[in-house]
Chain A
Amino acid sequence: MKKNSTPLIQQDTLIESIIKQIVMIVFSVVTIFPILRIISVSLRPGDRLLSTSLRIIPLDATWDNYITLISNGKFFLWIWNSAIITLITAVIGLSIAAFSAYAVSRWKFRGRSALLLFLLGTQMIPAAMLIIPLFIIATKLSLVNTYSGIILAYSVQAVPFSIWILKGYYDTIPRSLEEAAEIDGAPKMYIFFKIILPLTLPALAVAFLFNFMSSWNEFMLASIMLRKSTMHPWTLGLRDLQGQYQTAWGQYSAGSVLISIPVVFLFYKSSRFLVSGLTMGSVKE
């Protein structure tokens, strides 16, 4: 059955089309306006930061704020800290999730339902609730202000959600593949690494990205665990810039633009998969 609308379903009248366009335009403007404002402020010269002009591209646009931000050296330190912490936690998180999701998808074992329910339950735990014991444990083990501490704390944060997404993908891979390989005498380990993992590369990419993003954008735990300014990830760095409202607003905006561009780009590249992962299992074909 094709999804084309048949002649039976009446077309929109002209009025309806116009109303739809107006709604879309209004919402698009409201959506994009604050983002354009960040760009606008980032291009203002230093002495006109606090203007009340609403022009998007200021008449005297300059790259001053970008140059100041990059030349003070801190910005690259923040990016370095964020990148290294995020990359390692995403690799750990993805590995943990990929292995266990396969086991959950393929075999019934004692405690399987309990594990799945537990994974769901973890989503209800307020982040602020976990931070209190994590902070105290980290203090007692002197892991505050260390990369090791934050990496350990982050490493399982995104695991429950990743397992759900990956399990959904593994479930769609027919078992006949493994059965055929087993008949040929291939060991289970070989089947998993050589047959299953390559097939699930898109799902693994999405889960990796999800792990990456959740650490990259995390603020609360970082604000407690990484108090030293040399340890700051970009989230805390920008918070400090924005806090010194009068002086650093332009630099804050420049930093926001530089950080948002790659994040938004990655998001657009992967959003299709993310959505199918989210609605996986609930949409009945």
Chain B
Amino acid sequence: MSFEIVAKSLSQIGITLALILIAFGIVEAVIFLVYNKVLKAGDKALTGMLLAPAVIGLFLLIVIPLIYELVLSFSNMNLHHFKDPSFGITYFFDNIKRVFTTKILKKMTFWPLLFQTVLWTAIQVTFHVVLGLMLALILNSKIRFKELYKGILILPWAMPPVISGLTWRGEFHSEYGFFNIILRRLFGDAAAIPWMTDGFWNFVAMNITNIWMGVPFMMVICLGALQGVPSEYYEAAAMDGAGKGTRLFQITIPLIKPVLAPSVMLGIIWTFNNFNVPYFINQFMLETSDILVTALYRAAFTYNQYGFAAAFALVIFFILFGISIIYMKKTGALKAVGD
């Protein structure tokens, strides 16, 4: 940390910012002039001017990279052909064929990876929703120390995910992590579990970590949904002599389902694409606990198979897209888009 570094970073950032501002200044001026002088629709100029930064930014930094990704999937770009890749339709078919038929990395093929990713997503979202709803129901009732519990339970959501991931990784250490310390004290040395070296236990470790990290979000969403349920319904049910179980399954759950649907959808997408937890808990010691997105990262940046990884990424995207569409159709989530 020195004056030199600070000066260097500030000058670099200053130049970047200046360039961005100048570029947008020019764009805004052009839009203004085109609307006013050419189209004679000055009242629409503002809409265009307000939207321009977002449209240009998203186009340059999301759309263009995605198009480039598509182009890459038609190439043989890798470490040896980084500067001079060849492009062609045959490369595309080769890449796609490789995704489905050969090993993605060194051990796992595509289908086991997909199965593992779906299993991971299903386990996680189920736990998040069930535990989140259970805690929210308790927090929504009359209970002592409510605010204290809520404050504690929300902590894992507040923690930076990198710190949570690295910390849990440390706690799965076979000697000094608290899991094995506790197991050894309770049941003797033989009870210690090889969290970091055994494929199955590493997958369990991944799941434990992500349940801890993900429940608070769903709990808070459920709590928000529960507070929107009018108490008249419960009063009417109580008059009819409905018990607590009946009320939960006949009133509460049907009423909060539509509110939860978009959040569950987000949960599915986030979990499917969750990179941090599988990456940190495993840190490349085992291929067996990879999910699709960590395998993709390694195909690209450990093995430098850029063309192949691009094709693999497209396959992953379309699988997730398919899952999302089916989910939306089934639940009617996100009907409100566009109004």
Q: Which residues of A contact B (CB under 8 A)?
A: 1, 3-6, 8-12, 17, 20-21, 23-24, 27-28, 30-35, 37-38, 50-52, 54, 73-74, 76-77, 80-81, 84, 88, 92, 95-97, 99-100, 102-104, 107, 109, 112-113, 115-118, 120, 122-137, 146-148, 151-153, 155-156, 159-160, 163, 188-189, 192, 216-217, 219-220, 224, 230, 235, 238-239, 242-243, 245, 249, 252-253, 256, 259-260, 263-264, 267-268, 271, 275-276, 278-279, 281-284
Contacts and interface: CB of A to CB of B under 8 A. Distances in A.
Given A8-B239, A24-B143, A130 B13 contact: no
Contacts of A133: 65-66, 68-69, 72, 310
B281 interface: no
Task: Please list the 3 inter-chain residue pairs (A to B) with the smallest Cβ-Cβ separation, ordered nearest first.
Answer: A100-B54, A267-B158, A113-B338
Contact of A107 (B47, B168, B336): B47
Contacts of B336: 281-282
Given A132-B300, A148-B16, A249-B170, A126 B316 contact: yes
Contacts of B54: 96-97, 99-100, 159, 163
B39 interface: no
B159 A35 contact: yes
20 contacts: A9-B234, A9-B238, A12-B141, A21-B143, A24-B135, A27-B135, A27-B149, A50-B175, A51-B176, A80-B6, A117-B338, A124-B321, A125-B66, A126-B272, A130-B65, A217-B162, A230-B5, A238-B163, A242-B166, A256-B166
Contact of A99 (B12, B51, B337): B51
Contacts of B300: 128, 131-132, 135
B183 to A, nearest CB: 12
A92 B169 CA distance: 34
Contact of B58 (A17, A156, A230): A156
Interface stretch (B93-101, B119-127, B197-205, B224-232): B224-232
A231 to B, nearest CB: 9
Contact of A3 (B153, B158, B182, B231): B231
Contact of A38 (B151, B167, B239): B167
B47 A109 contact: yes
Dominant SS at the B interface? helix
B53 A99 contact: yes
B5 A264 contact: no
Residue among A12, A116, A148 having the largest count of chain B Cβ atoms under 10 Å: A148
Contacts of B306: 132, 136
Dominant SS at the A interface? helix
A107 B50 CA distance: 11
Given A27-B135, A188-B46, A129 B13 contact: no
B115 interface: no
A52 B175 CA distance: 8
Given A12-B142, A117-B337, A163-B54, A136 B61 contact: no
A44 to B, nearest CB: 11
Contact of B51 (A100, A132, A189, A284): A100
B163 A151 contact: no
Given A28-B149, A31-B212, 7 more contacts: A6-B231, A12-B141, A17-B143, A73-B1, A152-B16, A238-B163, A259-B163
Contacts of B69: 129-130, 132-133
